Amino acid sequence: MKILAGLAVCTGAAWAFSDTASFYSSRELDTSHHVVPGKDLSLELGQIAPSFCADGDKLHIYRVSNLARVAPAQVGGTFIKNVHYKGVDDIESVVDSFFAAGASEPVIYDIEDGQRHLIEEFLTSNSCVIVQGKPTFSKIETQKREEVEEHEGNEDQPEAVDAPEAVGAPDEGDAPKSSKKKSNLFREYQFFTPGVWSALIVSLFLVFVSSTAIGWITSIQTSYHAFEKQIDYEKKTE
C-alpha cells in the first residue's frame, strides 16, 4: 500500500507540472513569480518587443521540448522555472507577441530530438535570445485520446463481429437476413419491469393475508355455532 501511495503521489506531481516548462530571456523582465501564466508572459514580451534587441541584433527563439528547469550560471537576463501553458496556442503566443508589436521577424528553432537540454547550450553565440521550454501536455492529451478511442473500440467490437452476417446476406431473390439482435422480454417490451414485479408480489401477499383472515373468521363462526348448538341441547336435556 505504501508503494502504491508513493506512486500515486509521484504520478500526481508529474501531471501537475505536465503543462509547465522553464523559460529564459536575455532581456530582464518584471516578473518574479514562481509560476507565470503563458498569456501574461506574452503580454509583457509584446510590450518590450520593439526594443527587445539592440540595434542590428536579431532575435533568436529556441523552443525546446525537453528543457531542464535549471537557471544558467553567471548569465544575466530572466529565468522563469515554471511557465504555465493552457494549450499549444499559449506556446505560439510568445512568438505572436513580437509579430503583433511590429518588431523584426525573429529566427525560430524548434528542437524536439528527445534529449535533455540546458539553457547554456543556446547562449554561446547570440546575445539576443529567448529559450522557451515546451511542456509535455500535448503528449499526455494524445495518450488520453488514444486510450479513449481504444476503450470505445473494445465496446464496439461485438457489433463489428456481427457485421459480417449482415454483409454476407444472399443476393437477389432471397429475403435479406435480419441483423436485429435477439432480445428477451425485458429488452423488447419492457413489460415486466421491477416496478411491475414489486406490485405483483405485494398483490399476491395481500391476497394471501386476506384469504387467511377470511379463513380465520370462518373458523371462529363455525366454533361459535357449534358452541351455541351444545347449549341448546343441554337446555332440552334439562
Give the angle subtended at the CA of 144 by the CAs of 142 and 131, to the nearest 5°: 45
- Read off the amino acid at residue 124: T
Task: Tell me what pLDDT residue 17 has.
Answer: 52
Q: Which helix (H) or strand (E) holds 80?
A: strand 78-84
Q: How many CB atoms lie within 10 A of CB 45?
A: 22
Task: Tell me what pLDDT residue 21 has.
Answer: 93
C-alpha 91/C-alpha 10 separation (Å) is 26
How is residue 34 written as a grid cell?
514562481
Three-state DSSP state, 226: helix
Q: Note the residue count of the chain.
A: 238
DSSP 8-state symbol, 31: -
Task: Tell me what pLDDT residue 14 has.
Answer: 41
DSSP 8-state symbol, 17: T
pLDDT 10s per residue in the chain (238 long)?
444 334 333 434 444 456 899 999 999 998 767 789 999 999 999 898 888 888 778 899 999 999 999 999 877 899 999 999 988 888 898 888 888 877 778 899 999 998 999 999 998 777 899 999 999 864 545 555 555 666 666 665 555 445 455 445 445 555 444 444 455 554 554 555 566 677 888 889 999 998 898 888 888 777 666 666 556 555 556 5
How many helices (DSSP H) and strands (DSSP E) are in the chain? 6, 6
- CA distances to 47, 78, 105, 168 from 97, rounded to whole Å, are 8, 18, 11, 60
Residue 232, exposed/middle/buried by CB under 10 A (0-12, 13-18, 19+)? exposed
Task: Tell me what pLDDT residue 199 has.
Answer: 80
Residue 37 neighbours by CB under 8 Å, 6+ apart: 83, 84
Sheet holding 107-111, edge to edge: 35-37, 78-84, 20-25, 129-133, 60-64, 107-111
How is residue 215 written as a grid cell?
379463513
Task: Tell me what pLDDT residue 176 has.
Answer: 47
Residue 20, exposed/middle/buried by CB under 10 A (0-12, 13-18, 19+)? buried
Residue boundaries of the structural domains of the chain:
18-139
C-alpha 233/C-alpha 238 separation (Å) is 9
Q: Cβ(20)–Cβ(83) under 8 Å?
A: yes
